[in-house]
Structure 1
Amino acid sequence: MVFENLIVAETMKRHFNEGHDPRLMFYRDDSKIEVDLFDYTDMHHPQIIEIKSGQTYHDRFAKSLGTVGEQLSVPANERYVVARVADSFQSNGIRVVSAADWLKR
C-alpha cells in the first residue's frame, strides 16, 4: 500500500508541476476487475497503471490491463505495470516500468 501511494502521489505531483490538474482514480467495474490507477489528465492519452511492489515481474500482474484498457479505450501503448524491477522492459506487449524510471518521468 505504501508503494502504491508513492507512485500515485508522485504521478499527481508531476502533473501539478507541469501545470495540469491531475485526474486520477482507482478503477473497478461491476465484475470486480480493477486497475490501481486510471490517469485521464490528458484525455487524448489516458493511461492505466497496475502498481506492484514486488521485484520480480509476472505476466499475471497485467491480467486486468487488457480488459480494462478495452473498456476505457486506452491504447495498448498507454498500459503499464510499475514495479520495483531493476530495469524497464516489455513483456507480451505490456510496458513494465521500473519505479525508478517512473519517478524520473
Structure 2
Amino acid sequence: MKADLADAQWTAASEGHLTGPDGTRFVRRSTKTKRRTCDDLVARGVPVVLFYFAGGQLDWHDGPDALAVWQTVRTAVTSQEPKPKGPVEWNAGIWESDEGPSLLLLTGHC
C-alpha cells in the first residue's frame, strides 16, 4: 500500500515524528543507517517512507510496495553526507513507535 502523507504530516516529519495511516505514532531514533541494516528491516516487513523536500514528497509504503521502493532507491542510500550535486541521494533513518514496530524513513537530498 502507498499513502501520501505530505499534506497532513509534512511539518511533523520535519520535527522528528510521524503518524502512520493506521494511527501509530513514530519518532526518529537514527538518521545514518547503513544499507545492510535497511535490508534486514525491509526483509522483516517494516514500512518505508520517502521524504524528499525538493519534491514535496512524503510517501508511506508498506507490504510489497515497501520492498519495491526499497529495491528502487537502495543504491542511492548513503550513510555519509550527500554529494552537493547530482541525482537524489537518500539518508536512511530508523523511526520507532511506543508499541515497538519500526519504520525506515529515507530523506532525499539532491
Q: TM-score, normalised by structure 1?
A: 0.29
Higher strand fraction (1 or 2): 2
Structure 1 or 2: larger helix share? 1
**Larger relative CO (CA 8 A, sep 6+): 1 or 2?**
2
